[in-house]
């Protein structure tokens, strides 16, 4: 079984807390509840993994098991939670994602990097980490966090080029190592810009091991 060490939990909690403190706006916004939902869900998943490992007597300090390099393709809806701002681009549109999940471990974290674009030309290129928590042999929940460069194109102005992303994915891992899952992300600039409307994305991901595409 996969193991989630205490240090991993501490790092994840610290990352989420740091972003949470800086992303609270001065007036209530719908993004608050979305970010809080992701943060609480991520902490709940990590906590459940810790409890399960402790019950099974697993070594909580062991490094994560090796995973194959994967490339994930995603498609879904961009800006799914409309707020009451009447700014240009504040609408729900389609979006597409390509993400590389690297075959390395930073403790239990998997490095990720990718790009996502909307059909309005908004672009987000990012890098970050993801943490797999398995429930059984096939069902995996993956909290993730990233930061990157955002360009609005003809989409919504998010207030600053540097944007932070937090999310959580629930997926089924098949015997060949591929995964099919649903992921929900919140993107905001941590109040670095003069405005910080934030957006939420809901999409379906299909992650495929590199060797299934390119061979051994």
Average pLDDT, stretch 205-212?
94
Mean confidence (pLDDT) of the chain: 84
Contacts of 71 (CB under 8 A, 6+ apart): 98, 99, 100, 101, 207, 208, 210, 213
**Could you tell me if residue 92 is left (phi over 0), alpha (psi between -120 and 50 degrees) or otherwise beta?**
beta
Q: Look at residue 50 in the predicted model and tell me its pLDDT.
A: 78
9 phi and psi angles, rounded to 5 deg: -60, -40
Is the pLDDT confidence value at 130 over 90?
yes
pLDDT at 10: 40
3-state DSSP assignment of residue 183:
strand
Query: Nearest 5°: phi and psi at 66?
Result: -65, 145
Predicted pLDDT of residue 173:
97
Q: Quick one: 56 exposed, middle or buried, by C-beta within 10 A (0-12, 13-18, 19+)?
A: exposed
pTM: 0.81
Domains of the chain: 6-214 (2.40.160.20)
pLDDT attached to residue 21 = 38
pLDDT at 53 over 60: yes
Q: 3-class SS at 201?
A: strand
Nearest CA to 36 out of 51, 50, 17, 49 is that of 17
Q: Which of 45, 92, 101 is nearest to 70 (CA)?
A: 101
Average pLDDT in the 93-97 region? Answer: 97
The residue among 175 and 48 whose pLDDT is bigger is: 175
Residue 140 confidence class, pLDDT cut points 50, 70, 90: very high
Band (pLDDT 50/70/90 cuts) for residue 216 is: low
């Amino acid at each position: 079984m996969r193991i989630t060490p205490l240090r991993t939990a501490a790092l994840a909690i610290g990352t989420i807390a740091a972003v949470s403190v800086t992303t609270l706006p001065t007036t209530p916004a719908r993004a608050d509840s979305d970010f809080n939902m992701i943060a609480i869900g991520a902490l709940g998943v990590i906590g459940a993994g810790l409890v399960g490992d402790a019950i099974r007597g697993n070594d909580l300090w062991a490094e994560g098991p090796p995973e194959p390099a994967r490339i994930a393709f995603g498609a879904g809806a961009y800006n799914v939670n409309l707020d009451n701002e009447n700014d240009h681009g504040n609408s729900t549109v389609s979006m597409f994602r390509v993400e590389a999940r690297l075959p390395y471990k930073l403790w239990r974290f998997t490095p990720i990097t990718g790009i996502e674009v909307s059909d309005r030309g908004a672009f987000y290129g990012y890098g970050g980490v993801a943490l797999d928590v398995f429930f059984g042999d096939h069902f995996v929940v993956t909290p993730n966090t990233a930061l990157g460069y955002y360009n609005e194109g003809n989409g919504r102005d998010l207030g600053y080029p540097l944007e932070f992303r937090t999310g959580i994915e629930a997926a089924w891992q098949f015997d060949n190592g591929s995964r099919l899952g649903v992921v929900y992300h919140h993107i905001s600039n941590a109040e670095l810009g003069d405005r910080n409307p934030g957006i939420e994305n809901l999409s379906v991901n299909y992650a495929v091991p590199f060797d299934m595409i390119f061979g051994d």
